[in-house]
Amino acid sequence: MSKEILILDTKEGDLGELVQRLLEKGASLAFAHDKKDALSLIEDREFSLALVNLENETTGRLAILKELSTYDPLLPVILFTATVDLEEAVAAVKQGAFDYRLLSTDPDLLCEIALKAARETDHSFTEGNFLTANKRLKALLTRLKEIAKSKATVLITGESGTGKEVLARFIHQESDRARGPFIAINCAALPENLLESELFGYEKGAFSGAFTRKLGKFELANGGTILLDEITEMPLALQAKFLRVLQEGEVDRLGGAYPVKIDVRVIATTNRDIAAEVAKGNFREDLYFRLNVIPVELPPLRERPEDIKLLAQKFCEDFAKKYSREIKGFDQGVLEKLTQYSWPGNVRELKNLIERGVLLAKGPWIRLEDLFPGSFKRNGKEIPLKPLKEVEREMIMKALAAANGNRTKAAEILGISVRTLRNKLQVYREAGLF
């Protein structure tokens, strides 16, 4: 068992037999005899379960449950009592207690229940495509599952590559709109005139080249969710029009004679300091307030070291399967090295790096050289490895081998066009490398 179980027991040691059973099963335990000590431990360490046998004149069991849940919303709590109180038992379960048990319950049964609760919490939190073992993120996802049921706008901030769109999809999946469409548009990817027509649509004849009516993204997302990625890149003129959509729940197509009612949940993301953009006059303050109903900040990967290992292993499994490679995992010490890297590109960079490692690995274990082929430090010295062009050629050769020589399939594996692959092979052929 990877995490400790917190025992909050009276000094009389009523949970002594249960503690003995847990120790026999190899559980790691931490002890507290009052609420203050327990909360101090939870603040500094991560637990898989709390067993609570504590009640006095000033602090009842339900109050302790509430405080523990405030400190760690995902921590399972089992409450113990000397005499059954059905009203309290019902209230405890409603407040999120994992279980409510009499002290006289058979200790072997209690041990089984406790270990089951601890095992469930030790697993990483996976929802849709969002995978994390980070305590802060697990608490965030739990909170968002409740928020998702509302129609409130959500503003997700964080560095590029942290998983903002994945989190937006998680919110959509947990909402009452999950069966409706999820439409994403990158506000930085299109010039102003095209972005306006993409968002709001247009009528036939609205401008030169508008031969038919086109529905905008807001209308296409009706009954579902729209994600406006990099919202701070939206031009000021469009921000005013977008604000009206949020306020009135309707859109005006370009060239339209009347507004069209829509029912859409809006999620916006940005990697910028949006408050600073407001201060500079680059973003409307009223729109910022309208979007910032539910603010969510995604921490960078370097602040989630447990996720670096978890995601690296998951990406390794996925790419090994995708490329039909017999990769068992990482060479000794590689995962520890990865946690020491700053990851400026966050999860996106990690994913690309592991894909490279899976393709370049010469055996069943990915080495550090496979991940960082340009250079590698050994015994404090920088040892030059393969130049980038050679790495690229080797990846292409491996992709062709995985595709049994099928260039179309190899191009799909590499994420490039068949034409690009053909051109590169021609260069290798002329150089006598293919």
Q: What is the CATH number of the domain that holds 9?
A: 3.40.50.2300
Are 230 and 314 in the same domain?
Answer: no
- For residues 149 and 151, give the distance between their C-alpha atoms in angstroms, rounded to a whole number: 7
- Same domain flag for 26 and 87: yes
Return the pLDDT at 247: 92
Contact status, residue 128 vs residue 170, Cβ threshold 8 Å? yes
Residue 306 and residue 293 in one domain: no
For residue 136, the domain's CATH number is 3.40.50.300
pLDDT of amino acid 82? 87
Interatomic CA distance for residues 329 and 364, integer angstroms: 7
Residue 389 pLDDT: 60
Which residue segment(s) compose the domain that 143 sits in? 130-297
Residue 266: alpha-carbon gap to chain centroid: 19
Domain end marker among 259, 274, 297 = 297
| CATH number of the domain enclosing 309 | 1.10.8.60
User: Which of 122, 138, 158 is the C-terminal boundary of a domain?
Assistant: 122
Q: Are residues 286 and 347 in the same domain?
A: no
Compute the distance between CA of residue 274 and CA of residue 297 in angstroms, rounded to an integer: 12
What are the helix (H) ranges across 273-387?
A: 274-280, 285-291, 305-322, 334-339, 346-360, 368-371
Given 276, 297, 318, the domain boundary residue is 297
User: Based on the domain organization, do 44 and 67 belong to the same domain?
Assistant: yes
The reply to whether 351 and 238 lie within a common domain is no
Shared domain for 175 and 77, answered yes or no, is no
The Cα-based distances of 17 to 108, 110, 135, 279, 343 in angstroms read: 9, 10, 30, 62, 47
Q: 271-307 pLDDT, tens per residue? A: 999 999 999 999 999 999 999 999 999 999 999 888 8
CA separation, residue 57 to residues 35, 54, 61, 63 (Å): 13, 11, 11, 12
Q: Residue 161 is encoded by which pair of tokens?
A: 């590559």
Question: Are the C-beta atoms of 395 and 356 separated by less than 8 Å?
Answer: yes
191 & 264 share domain: yes
Are 63 and 105 contained in the same domain?
Answer: yes
Dist. CA 168–CA 182, nearest whole Å: 9
pTM over 0.75: no
Q: How far is CA 379 from the centre of its chain?
A: 36
Q: Which residues of the chain fall below pLDDT 70?
A: 1-3, 11-12, 56-59, 70, 72-74, 120-129, 373-391, 415, 417, 433-434
Q: Which of 14, 23, 17 is nearest to 5 (CA)?
A: 23
pLDDT number for residue 58? 56
Q: Which pLDDT score is estimated for 27? A: 83
Q: Are residues 154 and 175 in the same domain?
A: yes
pLDDT of residue 378: 46
Say if residue 281 is in the same domain as residue 145: yes
DSSP state of 203: -
Length of the chain, please? Answer: 434
Helix axes 192-200, 236-248, angle to 10 degrees: 10
- Across 376-406, b (16+ Cβ under 10 Å) vs e yields beeeeeeeeeeeeeebebebbbbbbebbeee
Q: In DSSP terms, which residues pair with 265 in a beta bridge?
A: 225
pLDDT at 385: 42
In terms of domains, do 146 and 279 share one? yes
How many structural domains are present in the chain? Answer: 3
